Amino acid sequence: MITMTNVLKRGRTVWDRALLPEDEYVERRRVLREAMTGAGIDVLVSLGHATRPGNFAYLSGYVPPLGWMGTVLGSEQGPMLVSGGGSREVPFVRTQTWIEDLRTSRSLFSGPAEVVGAAVAEIAAPGARVGVAGAHDALNAATRAELSQALSRYEVVEADELTEAVRAVKRPREVVALRQSADIARAAVAVAVDRFQEGATAAEAVLAAEHAARSAGCRDVRVLGDLGNGELAPVQALSPDRGERFAVYCAVERLGYWGQAAAGTADSAAALAALEAMRDAAAAGTAAADMAAAAIAALPDSAVDRTLAYGFGGGIGLDPSERPEVAVGACAVIAPGTVLALQAIVPEDGGLGCAAETVLVTERGVTPL
């Protein structure tokens, strides 16, 4: 007998209705419709992939386990949820989303683009303005072409800026979810540092961090440890030999929301100074590039290039990295309600100094999560 099963096994998948009840998504639908009206968009198609779920998960509450999914939202109708899987996945998906109208492809071998096109046709006449968000992140070139063909009767416009602007301003329940994820990431990093100081190798310490995060209910966990030469790497690349110093970076996803943390066995004055400079510069209306400039000014000249290679972080939410990116030349301005995951990973003394913090930017200032 031959059976089929999802071979990508990840952690816990659950809809926490206490934290994110149905009325949360009803309100998100209202906010998206207001943005659609302002942009002159009749139908919004939001796409997400297992690796970049944010645009899809914002309205559906569900993170795709494989492939891509989409939501179709009209000015008065919808949302509809479109999946690339067959009908057999519907019973499970219904437990994970508030959306009642679920559409699936005819089979695993025919893509959902035509299903999206059919859903749009039900609520919009030919020539209507259809905004598509997430296509470049969620779809490959061939699938984008299929979707373009399925929507060929409409005026299709990119809607990424629309959804990014809505998603950048975190709702109160989102802030709670992000705080919980950040707490788990910090706890996992602390476990890794403690295990290393107790005599574990870098690989053992990294695995201990992942175990701690998954035990706390995280679906996705990504941990990097110090190779011993001033570089971070996943566990499979770490040496079995134990070095004198250790640094670790951890990103986790729970209930769709990401958290991050970083630390090391040695305090890093440079990393802490760069992090403090970014935090001090962060404010509603501040350019993200100015935050990056403040961090660079706090670093030794010799450490700038390597630190920039790791990045200073930026927005975080339903995707591990969201706009605004804190980077040299970034054009974005920090909006009130943005949550920033800031980091400074600085080479020093043959190792790495790490510091990270997640903050909420409001009109009143900056609050650590």
Q: Which two tokens stand for residue 84?
A: 């690339």
Mean pLDDT of 234-239: 86
| Distances 21 to 17, 27, 329 between C-alpha atoms, Å | 4, 11, 39
pTM check: above 0.85: yes
Characterise 343 by phi-psi region: left (phi > 0), alpha (psi -120 to 50), beta (else): beta
Who has greater pLDDT, 7 or 190? 190
Q: Could you tell me if residue 85 is left (phi over 0), alpha (psi between -120 and 50 degrees) or otherwise beta?
A: beta
DSSP run (H or E) holding 118:
helix 113-123
Chain region(s) in the chain for CATH 3.90.230.10: 172-368
**More confident: 107 or 87:** 87
At residue 110, the pLDDT reads: 59
What integer best gives the mean pLDDT of the chain? 91
pLDDT band at residue 260 using 50, 70 and 90 as cut-offs: very high
Q: 19-33, 94-108, 222-236, 348-362 — which one is most confidently predicted on average?
A: 19-33
> What pLDDT sits at residue 5?
45
Write the pLDDT tens digit of every residue in 103-112.
988 655 556 8
Q: What are the tens digits of pLDDT across the range 245-259?
A: 899 999 999 999 999
Contacts of 179 (CB under 8 A, 6+ apart): 358, 369
pLDDT at 2: 45
CA–CA distances in Å: residue 7 to residues 3, 52, 63, 207, 211: 12, 19, 16, 21, 20
Kindly state the average pLDDT of the residues 177-203. 96
pLDDT tens, residue by residue, 30-79: 999 999 999 999 999 999 988 899 999 999 999 988 778 999 999 999 99
* Res 23: pLDDT: 97
Lowest mean pLDDT among 149-163, 230-244, 310-324: 230-244
- Distance of alpha carbon 207 from alpha carbon 41, whole angstroms: 47
What integer pLDDT is reported at residue 10 of this predicted model?
59
Q: Indicate the fold that domain 22-167 takes in CATH.
A: Creatine Amidinohydrolase; Chain A, domain 1 (3.40.350)
What are the start and end residues of each CATH 3.40.350.10 domain in the chain? 22-167
Question: What pLDDT, in 10s, does the model give residues 262-298?
Answer: 998 877 899 999 999 999 999 999 999 999 999 999 9
Task: Report the C-alpha gap between 177 and 302 in whole angstroms.
Answer: 38
Per residue in 289-307, pLDDT (tens digit) is: 999 999 999 999 999 999 9
Other Cβ atoms closer than 10 A to 319: 23
pLDDT at 227 exceeding the cut of 90? no
CATH number attached to the domain at 172-368: 3.90.230.10
Structure tokens at 45: 């198609």
- Whether 292 and 330 have beta carbons less than 8 Å apart is answered as yes
Predicted confidence at residue 11, as pLDDT, reads 63
What integer is the mean pLDDT of 325-338? 94
Q: How far is CA 340 from the centre of its chain?
A: 12
> Tokens for 193?
């540092």
pLDDT classification of 239: cutoffs 50, 70, 90: confident
Contact 96, 85 (CB under 8 A): no
